[in-house]
Chains A and B, each alone.
Chain A
Amino acid sequence: MTAPHEPASRGWTGAVRRRAVAALPPDKLLPDTQPAYMASWIYVFGVLTLSSLVVVLATGGVLALKGPAWWHVSDAGKYVNSLHLWSVELFMFFMVIHLWGKFFMAAWRGRRALTWITGVVCFLTSIGTAFTGYLVQQNFDSQWIAGQAKDGLNSVGIGAFFNVLDFGQMLMWHIVLLPFVLGLLTAWHILLVRLRGIVPPIGAADPAHGSPAASAPLPAEGEAP
């Protein structure tokens, strides 16, 4: 139902807004309650991963502001580079724990397969982003990693287009293309989590109907997307 004072609701914008609000009303997008079964430390690793990503992007942003050579000649730059490095280490650590946690929860159940897939693609994209970061350090590590990595990439034809020995190309991938893709994937992943809700325990039955499934999982449960 469209209010008379909202003429835009008849256009494309209104249609998009109606669909968006219907799919993710404000109380679902930013809930102030959560299912009582969410009572484990494993749930913390999702928000820790996201927090680490924010620190990675912020510290990387400072390095980008000052240019790629700054951290080699400045103590402050060296510290910001260290912040960037350790936030990446934490980000990857938290993400791997989050991934294993979601695996053991079979978190793809109940039409959540796309949430799982976007999470895995986020993980793979993060590996690529971190890898290009190591390539653009402009030090001995970069030289050696580039020389070693080119063989793998060349062996499957990727190296002809994605040249790890080309600093300029790798810098653009590291600070523009891959963070952009990772940002979009992360936003999509989080929206899917909010859209579908947090997956209930394996074997849990609908409390409204009740069934022995709470203690005896259905054969197909935990398997279907």
Chain B
Amino acid sequence: MTRRRRERAAVPDPAAFPTRSYDLVKEFTIALVVVALLTAALAAVFSSPDDRPVTLASWSRADGADFTATAAAELGGTSGTAEYGPPYNHTPGAAQKLGPLGLQSAAGVRIPIDTAEDFVLRPLADAPQPPVVRVALAAWAAAPAARQQAWTKAYSDALAKAPGGDPAKVTGGGFGPVPVLVARLLDMARSGALDGQLQAEGKFYETDYTRPLLFLSDGSYLETLARAQHLGGDQWGMMNETGDYPGQAWLWLYTFWYQIEPFKSSGNADALIWGLMALLSLGLMLLPFIPGLRSIPRWTRVHRLIWRSYHRTADQPEGRDNSPG
């Protein structure tokens, strides 16, 4: 008999043990009723959170300065999305790596996004515009890329220096058509037109919110609201939800790694944590085959508590015949 067979033979057949009466269907029915009642009570008492989503309209109305600064960054190609790398665009050095593995780069740019074109220029061009905006769009299109970047950089810097980031208080010049374009985009956003334009992109049915969500995420308004709801990345945000609800508590381990070094300050934190969690998940799955780890249950002896009634009988002197009684 091989060692493996001996090991298998060491676990007896459950059918060999004494039995007692048991009603499987009755147990399941009772459990179902108990769980249904418990669920109904929890739902009645605690309900569920439903904070209204942020729209481009609500953002631009509540914090026009943040919207304007974000729109200028989208136009100049300096926003978070513009410099994100795959899967949105080709930005050298932006992709994260898992050791030597560049999985983000390997997957490629499959959701191409040009922030200037998609978030600013196309929505403006697709809507009826006053002459001053049409002239500004033409001036932008006619300018070389270096000039465009100089305009947006000068305007972004001026916005940063203006009190409260207020576009009305910007001083200086050299902004080209940027203030006109961004101000018009702000007007469109406040009217609610930009929400529809960014999402629909000329189509009628649409269920993909990638572009408006990325635009929203590039601003600081969404994050400010999230942090007030303890949802920030350094506030265990992934496992929380708005209000005092339990959220996705089962993501505690995934969220935990973001709170500690070396992940906390690593530029590759996401890739490293995903790699680590994949490894841990694989380890949990293959636990029966991992020497040492698979013996923990025997060492901890929690099983003595679980099977205490069996052991009470089996451990008695007369129970040495292994009958569980």
Contact = CB atoms under 8 A, between A and B. Distances in A.
Interface of A: 30-40, 42, 44, 47-48, 50-52, 54-55, 59, 71-72, 78-79, 81-83, 85-87, 89-90, 92, 96, 101, 103-106, 108-113, 116-117, 120-121, 124, 127, 130-131, 134, 137-149, 151-161, 163, 165-169, 171, 197-202, 204-208, 210-215, 217-218, 220-225
Interface string B52-86: 11100000000000000000000000000000101
18 contacts: A37-B324, A47-B31, A59-B39, A90-B38, A104-B300, A104-B303, A106-B298, A106-B303, A117-B286, A140-B52, A140-B226, A141-B51, A144-B231, A146-B213, A156-B274, A206-B12, A221-B298, A224-B4
A217 B7 CA distance: 12
B22 interface: yes
A156 to B, nearest CB: 5
Contact of A200 (B17, B42, B49, B291): B17
B16 A207 contact: yes
Given A86-B39, A127-B251, A201-B311, A147 B213 contact: yes
B22 A199 contact: no
B151 to A, nearest CB: 29
Contact of A82 (B31, B43, B84, B251): B43
What class of interface size applies to chain B in its complex with A?
35 or more
A33 B27 CA distance: 12
A87 B48 contact: no
Contacts of A36: 17-20, 310, 324-325
Tell me if A's interface is mostly helix, strand, loop or mixed. helix
A201 B17 CA distance: 11
Interface string B6-21: 1110111111111111
A180 B28 CA distance: 22
A197 to B, nearest CB: 4
A141 B230 CA distance: 12
Contacts of A82: 42-44, 46-48
Interface stretch (B99-107, B159-167, B174-182, B189-197): B99-107
Interface stretch (B120-128, B133-141, B314-322): B314-322
B291 A83 contact: no
A49 to B, nearest CB: 9
Contacts of A218: 10
Q: Which of B24, B44, B216, B273 is packed against the most chain A CB atoms within 10 Å?
A: B24
B204 interface: no
B217 A147 contact: yes
B261 interface: no
Nearest to B95: A155
A35 B270 CA distance: 47
Contacts of A35: 14, 17-19, 324
Nearest to B101: A156
